[in-house]
Structure 1
């Protein structure tokens, strides 16, 4: 038997895309309404409230599954995963500077293809310009784009060995 097993790579940055707890919000609200109706007395709308709880829970469950699949972000020492698309860090040449909020001009990377299988940067996320080794520009994205940019820059510096040289020069 072979002893060559790969240990999972350390996660440097992670955003889940959606959280399972949101599935419980609709059914919890229906349960509270049901409890109020029982305590208050009179007609209790069992069927309607149970039906609404199942319907709300089902729709939100679909949204959470889609969110976890399509808008989650994970950065390891080897790869950046944006939704279902995985990009090797070896394919990334550099992280481009942030866009100037006060400038009237767009950076070239702002109109580049967003990583992942979505047509653009998802809502409530901000793009980060990346230049690939083949010269193409793409956008990585995250809700906490500042942390992703810092983690991605540090991972690329470690890969290229520039972080160690900077530390030697500083001391």
Structure 2
């Protein structure tokens, strides 16, 4: 009798506890017994930047104001349209060696920056072509605004960031 009472009590408790909360859509079958099960998912826009740095930027000739470097920058997005690419300089558009500063212009082929711009403030190009899953490549160069006159190792870092449009 005790065992039967425990079994009945267990069933009563199980029935009293509500099932785990479920969220979603109830799908009701049609007269012929079929139902449509909706599937859905979202893939966010994404762009990946890459560059091929084969050396010219780490051995610039500081005695000339000629255009130097031919490094490449590639953008590969998972959508078609455009992306916004921002270029910024750690030293405000100048290579520095201690207290000495050597301003330069940054050049990106096939863009509004193709004639050279100072990176004293960040520069954004909102029209970088984004072709679905196909890399779009531009060439990067620099041009010193004047030749160096004080010996030293001059450096700067250009940061490139992308934002899908």
Greater share of helix: 1
Larger Rg: 2
Greater share of strand: 2
Fold-level similarity (TM above 0.5): no
TM-score range, shorter chain: under 0.3
Q: TM-score, normalised by structure 2?
A: 0.23
